[in-house]
Every structure is written in C-alpha cells, then in structure tokens.
Homo-oligomer: A and B are copies of this chain.
C-alpha cells in the first residue's frame, strides 16, 4: 500500500517539487533550478536526483512510493511523449519512460495547465467537483478541462486551450498564436492593459488611470474597487468577453464549477461578480447556476495536480 508520492511542476526557470502523503498532505516542498542549456539534457537527471535524495533523506521505503506525477509546459500525448517543449529547449521526448528509468518509479506526465486544473479539483477551489473548467488569467489565458475527474487532453493536445477561443470577429491585431480575436487578447493581464489603453484614448472622462504610468490589470482592478467609472467600463468589457466565453464552454462540457486562477484573479470577488453577470445572462438554462469560484492553491496547483495525476491511475 503506497504511502507517498511526488508532485513535480516543471517550469522554464524552476522545478517545484513536493513530497506528498497519498491523502494529499504535503510532507515537504522545495525547488530546484531548471537547467535549460544543452537542449535541457540535465533537467530530467536533476529531477531524478532530487527525488532519490529526498527518499534517502526521509528514509522512505521505495516500495511505499506510488510514483511521480509531473506537469510540463507543453502538450503531452497519451503515450507519455511530448512532441516539444519550447521553454525547456526540448524536442520530442518520452518523459514518462526517461524519468521512470532514472528513478525506478512509475511516472505520469501531463500538460501543466491541465495538471493545475486537476490540482484545483482535488484540493483547491473546485474541491468535490468531478467536472471542472479551470481558467488561468496570467500573461496569457490558459485552461484545463476535467470531465469525470479526468483531464481532457484532446486529439492534438489542445484540449483546454481556451485562451485561443475566437471571440471577436472585428479584431484587427494578431494574437501571439497568429489568429485574430482570441479570448487571450482581452482577458489576460496583457489584454486588460490593452483594453485600458484603448479606453483612455477613446473616452474623454477623467480617471485615476490617467495618472498611472504603466497601466496593468492590477491598476485597472484597483481603480475599479475605488469606484473609478472608466475602470468600471474596462472591467465590464473584460467581463463580457470572459463571461460570454464561459457560457459557450458550458454548452460543450457543462462543468460542476468554473475555477478562475492566475495573477489577474488576485483582484478577487469583484472579478468573479463582473464575469458572473455576463455568464448568467448567456448560459443555457441548465447551466445558469454553475458557480464561478476563485482558485485557492496559487502556485501550488501544479504540484497538487501532479500528485493527483499519479494517484489516479486513469489520468
């Protein structure tokens, strides 16, 4: 009977690591540097070494370790192979096999955004749900879809790529992905800052935002909380794009709950309230009352989800 497992969140600059008890209690968390030089050839050996050192240090019987779950920044195929991970300087790699051989432990890999969704379902804002959509509002907009407690990877690893949902036929500027009118262009931190700049140019009214040097999503939400009318218009525009998009997503997978995470979500309940107004107006009857909640695990969603990944055989 396994007592332990490891949850690894592999990012472009650091690797977040955690030793878990199988009930989800974190025994210890630590980080190591991600060494991306030489096509990232040291990354997996470094992770294996830190895991084996922790097993040694804690005098853990390897037979009591369920395995290692790992979230990676890129698509992961059902075979455990990744076709590429740009931020790690990796080409095609069978990460499950390689890390398994290096550690002698079972390894299960998943895309980092999907893994975070699993984490929020297990121990975060979506606790108790079996069907969940995680929306991560950061520099970009990421997402993860969980159906019946399992990650929706999709046919091309693009399940949950909701930041690139087409929401505005009138857009003239290109998204980083090359398309025009992606949700990410309005609902990410960058997108909200852009909406703000456009509003300051097109509107004439006074606003505290006119005194801010580098307008960020945070400055918009801060001004909104202080009752700034122009900030309210910007938040409303953001909320319309996101709330309406969530209503469409609900027609596909009909989740128990939406969970909103990422840096922008630090704005808190006012963000949820703004988005919910549009969601409720446009969601299909059966899904109108689906709650929209804040993520609660922050940067730890990845390690929790990775641990859950290896603990749920089917994912």
Contact = CB atoms under 8 A, between A and B. Distances in A.
Interface string A278-290: 0001111111001
A115 interface: no
A250 interface: yes
Interface in A153-203: 153-167, 169, 177-179, 181
Interface stretch (A36-44, A217-225, A241-249): A241-249
Nearest to A179: B282
Given A147-B159, A169-B240, 7 more contacts: A75-B286, A152-B252, A154-B255, A156-B290, A161-B251, A245-B248, A252-B253
Contact of A162 (B157, B166, B252, B281): B252
A131 interface: yes
A155 B156 CA distance: 25
A158 B251 contact: yes
A92 B301 CA distance: 39
Contacts of A181: 282
A256 to B, nearest CB: 4
A259 to B, nearest CB: 13
A152 B282 contact: no
Nearest to A166: B282
Q: Which 7 A-B pairs have the closest CB atoms?
A: A154-B254, A166-B282, A158-B286, A164-B284, A158-B254, A155-B256, A156-B286
A145 interface: yes
Task: Count this chain's copies in the assembly.
Answer: 2
B248 A248 contact: yes
A161 B244 contact: no
Contacts of A248: 165-167, 245, 248-249
Contact of A285 (B130, B131, B178): B178
A253 B165 contact: no
13 contacts: A145-B253, A147-B152, A154-B287, A155-B255, A155-B256, A161-B254, A161-B284, A165-B247, A165-B248, A166-B248, A167-B248, A245-B248, A252-B252
Contacts of A165: 247-248, 251-252
Contacts of A153: 254
A292 to B, nearest CB: 13
A169 B286 contact: no
B156 A254 contact: yes
A123 B4 CA distance: 44
Given A145-B252, A147-B147, A158 B287 contact: yes
Contacts of A240: 169
